[in-house]
Amino acid sequence: EAHIEREIFPFEYPREERLYLDANDERTVYEYYEDSEQREHQEEDHDFEPFTDDEDDIEQYSDGYEEEERGDEEAERRREAIRELREADNESDLLYSRRCGICFVSNATRRAVFSSCGHIACLACTLQIADSNHCLDCPFCRKKTRYVRIFEEIKDENEEEEDRIKISPVNIVAADWVRVEQLQHQYDVAVRNAQHTQPQTMRQPRQL
């Protein structure tokens, strides 16, 4: 067996490694040598930069670490800004939505506003948490406040659609043109009447 291996790859290969390869490695000795030689060439071609204790090397790696920290801080600031914008959107939705923030009724017909903070809830929930003097702790911000009932006209979807049609830009422009035509007609009539009106008697010149 050793004689055959020397013919395939003629150099003295350690006996222990030959046995190890035969027992645990499917590669032949020649294939193992090719892999080892290829790894050696790759290591020779690679330009390693060993780390030293020089001040330049330390400063270089410190700068890289500081840049990475700055990048992390910038990413955290962006995430914080996004969170603040989302919270502001949620507060805006709560202010302009008719949904009660306590019982989550989507379209409360009767509502109350808290005078100290401006938060709004449905009147039923407000009466449950308020005392006899119309005072309560705001359930949203915990401020001591009084409530005032909001008197508002609730319209159904058909009425809201009619209002939107009335105030649409197209209808506003059309109404303006109608008004202009009416004024023009009134002006034309006034001019014609002035032209056809008989002049009154001329005043005689005063004799001295």
pLDDT of residue 66: 64
In a domain, 66, yes or no: yes
In a domain, 200, yes or no: no
127 and 146 co-located in one domain:
yes
Give the tens place of pLDDT for each residue, 165-197: 555 555 555 556 667 777 777 777 777 777 766
90 and 119 co-located in one domain:
no
In a domain, 194, yes or no: no
101 and 140 co-located in one domain:
yes
Q: How far apart are CA 195 and CA 114, in angstroms?
A: 66
**Does an H or E element contain 120, and which?**
strand 120-122
In a domain, 190, yes or no: no
Rg (Cα) of the chain, in Å, rounded? 46
30 and 65 co-located in one domain:
no
144 and 113 co-located in one domain:
yes
In a domain, 208, yes or no: no
Average pLDDT over residues 20-25: 48
In a domain, 107, yes or no: yes
28 or 136, which is more confident: 136
85 and 114 co-located in one domain:
no
Q: How would residue 36 be classed by pLDDT, with cut points 50, 70 and 90?
A: low
Give the tens place of pLDDT for each residue, 46-105: 555 555 555 555 566 666 666 666 777 888 888 887 787 777 666 655 556 678 888 888
Yes or no: say if 143 and 137 are a contact pair by the CB < 8 Å rule. Answer: yes
pLDDT of residue 188: 79
109 and 71 co-located in one domain:
no
Percent of the chain topping pLDDT 90: 6
pLDDT of residue 144: 92
Structural domain including 27 reads 2-38
pLDDT of residue 146: 92
Q: Count the domains in the chain.
A: 4
120 and 145 co-located in one domain:
yes
122 and 143 co-located in one domain:
yes
